[in-house]
Amino acid sequence: MNGPIANLSDRKGNQHAHADAVRSMFQRIAPRYDLLNRVLSGGIDQRWRREAIVAVRPRPRARVLDLCAGTLDVTEGLADAYPDVTLTAADFAAEMLERGKRKVPKADCVVADAMALPFADASFDAAVCSFGIRNVANTERALRELRRVLTPGSRFVTLEFFRSAQVLTRAWRDSFTQLVLPAVGRLLAGDAAAYRYLASSMANFLSRKEYEALLRSVGFCNVSGRDLTLGIASLVVAEVPS
């Protein structure tokens, strides 16, 4: 498939170009996105998402935001785990939301840019972002927006592929993502270039410690993180001061 591919250098330069290219890429791979996640991770991504869902721990009847919701895998898990909460799934790729909304008919699906959320201050009592924050052109701006739309005392959970600080883990993951990921993307989605971008986005994103420091710098507190499955993925929990 042809189409714009995000240039990681645009994160510091033309952020609008980066955002438009990433949106276009996800629109293209949406039909095969769930299948590719299962194949590429051997299904372990579902366990990671369950851990993120458990970490959200919303209060009864809370308003919960799933940011960069994609095809609503996490939104569906939240609905099953916390049936009394009100759910909003936000993503800037409309096709991704369209593919996923059948999973959670009760969720409010909103096409939204993480850097300029269309929600009032203190609109949500909890939020989660699963494998999406590294694709945002300006991470700090997105985190400030999240801080703005969350109520005091609320919790924000991030599940992500951060740049690994462990040499062996980084070497193994880089080899896998640079060789296997584009090949499988070409075979199943017909879009090797998109999956080459995803590989680069993992290698060039923040480390978990750097991300935790950024969360603190924009006003979150009680920030803690832990690695999952030999550091391949990581879970970070942060809170808004009461």
CATH number for position 137: 3.40.50.150
Q: Shortest CA distance to 142 belongs to which of 234, 22, 228?
A: 22
Which residue(s) pair with 233 in the sheet? 228
- Does 168 reside within a domain? no
How confident is the model at residue 17, as a pLDDT?
76
Q: What is the mean pLDDT of each run of 10 residues along the chain (242 residues)?
A: 38 66 73 65 84 97 97 97 98 93 96 96 98 92 98 97 74 60 58 65 86 98 93 93 95
For the beta sheet containing 150-160, the strands, ordered from the edge strand earlier in sequence to the opposite edge, are 108-111, 86-91, 63-67, 124-130, 150-160, 233-239, 221-228
- Tally of domains in the chain: 1
* Cα distance between residue 107 and residue 90, in whole Å: 10
- Residue 71 placed within a domain: yes
Inside any domain, residue 191: no
Q: What is the pLDDT of residue 131?
A: 92
Rounded to whole angstroms, the Cα distance separating 81 from 87 reads 12
Q: Is 4 helix (H, G, I), strand (E, B) or coil?
A: coil
C-alpha distances (whole Å) from 174 to each of 6, 76, 105, 126, 195 are 19, 30, 37, 33, 13
- d(C-alpha 130, C-alpha 128), whole Å: 6
Is the residue at 182 inside a domain?
no
Query: Is 91 part of any domain?
Result: yes
Q: Which domain holds residue 59?
A: 8-162+206-239
Whole-prediction pTM value? Answer: 0.84
Confidence at residue 44, expressed as pLDDT on a 0 to 100 scale: 85
Quick check: is 199 in a domain?
Answer: no
**Residue 232 is assigned to a structural domain of this protein:** yes
In a domain, 42, yes or no: yes
